[in-house]
Amino acid sequence: MSVVVSFVLLFVGLFVLILAADAFVASSTVVARRFNISEMVIGLTLVAFGTSAPELATSLYAAAVGSSGIAIGTVVGSNITNVAILGICAAIIPLATDEGVVKDGLVMLSISTLLTALSLQGISRLDGCALLAVFLLYMATLRRRGGGGVVARDKDIEFNCVMVCLKLCLGGFGIFLGAKLLVDSAVSIAVSFNILESVIGSTLVAFGTSAPELAVSVNAAVKRHGGISIGNILGSNTFNAALVVGLSSLIRPLGVDTALFFWNIPMMLFTAVLLLIFIRTKHELSRLEGIALVATYAIFICINYVLF
C-alpha cells in the first residue's frame, strides 16, 4: 500500500481502537455494577484496562504477527509519552503529591527497572510470567490499601441484556480491528521509510495509544484534580510495563533491537527516575519540572529519528 494510504489507515485504526475500547469498558462497567461487583474491583480492572486498552490490543496483535519491535516499542514509548503528558498537566497547574503518590512512583520505577533488566536478553515467556506475577502482586497490594471495597448495589440500574451484549461484542471486535489496522499500517510505514519498527512503535503509535491518558489527565488538571492526573499516569505505566509486556511475551518472545536497547528502554527508565525525583521534591510537580519533562520527550523523539 502507498505511504498516504498507510498513514490514513493508521489514524483510522487508532480512532476505531480508542472508540471501541471506550464502548467495551463502558458496557463492562454496566455489567459489573448490575451484578454487584465491588467498586474496588471495577477500578482496578475495568478502569485500568480502559486507559491502557489501546496499548494492550496493539502490543498483543503485534506480537501475534511477529512485529516484536512494535509490541514492546509501543509500551516503552507510551510510558515515556505518559510522563510527558504529566509534564503538560504540571505546566497547566502545579500538581500536589503525597506519600501515597511517591509509593506508586516507586512501584512504577521498580517495574520499569525490572523490564529494563529483562530486556537485556529479550523478553522471553518466562520473563513474561515474572512480569505478570509482579502485576498481580501490585493489584493485591492496591486492593489491601483500599480495603475490601464497597459493593455497588445497582440492581435498579437500567440493564438491557441484548444491547449490552451487542455493545460488548462490537467493542471487542472494534478493538481487534483497530489494533490490526494500526499495526499493519505502522509496519508498512516503517518499511516505506526504512525505519525500525520499534522507532515507529515507540513514537507515532505510542503517541496515538496514549490519547486516553492525555484526555483524562489534562482534563483532570484543568479541573484542578491533580491527584487523578498523577494516579492515571503512574497506574497506566505500571499496567503497560507489567501486564501488557507480560501478556505479549506469552504469545511470542519479544526481541529487542538497537533502538530499544541503546535508547528507548534506557530513556523509559530515565524518565521514570526523573519523575520520581520531581514528585518527591517539595511534594509537588512544579511548572518548571513539567516543562523539563516535556523537553525530555522532545529530545527522545528527535534522537529516535536522527540516529535510528
Task: Give which of 14, 69, 25, 9 is closest to 164, Cα–Cα.
Answer: 25
pLDDT of residue 40: 43
Q: Could you give the CA distance from residue 210 to residue 54 in angstroms, rounded to a whole number?
A: 8
Write out the chain's pLDDT in tens, 308 residues.
Answer: 688 999 999 889 888 887 887 777 677 667 666 766 554 455 445 656 666 788 898 999 999 999 999 999 999 999 999 999 999 999 989 988 878 788 888 999 999 999 999 999 899 999 999 999 999 998 888 767 654 444 444 454 555 777 877 877 888 788 788 888 888 898 899 888 899 999 999 998 998 888 777 877 887 788 787 777 787 788 889 999 999 999 999 999 999 999 999 999 999 999 999 999 998 888 889 999 999 999 999 999 999 999 88
Whether the Cβ atoms of residue 111 and residue 226 lie closer than 8 Å to each other = no
CA distances from 299 to 79, 85, 96, 263, 286 (A): 15, 15, 26, 11, 20
Nearest to 6 by CA among 162, 193, 167: 193
CB 130 within 8 A of CB 118: yes
Q: What is the pTM of this model?
A: 0.84
pLDDT of residue 83: 96
pLDDT of the residue at 301: 95
CATH number, domain 3-307: 1.20.1420.30
Residues 12-27 pLDDT 10s: 988 888 788 777 767 7
Give the 3-state DSSP-derived string for 115-139, with helices as H, strands as E and coil as C: HHHHHHHCECHHHHHHHHHHHHHHH
Cell of 20: 471501541
Q: What is the pLDDT of residue 28?
A: 67
Gap between the Cα atoms of 200 and 205, Å rounded: 6
Under 8 Å between Cβ of 62 and 70: yes
User: Can you spell out the DSSP letters for 135-191?
Assistant: HHHHHHHHHHHTTT--B---TTS---HHHHHHHHHHHHHHHHHHHHHHHHHHHHHHH
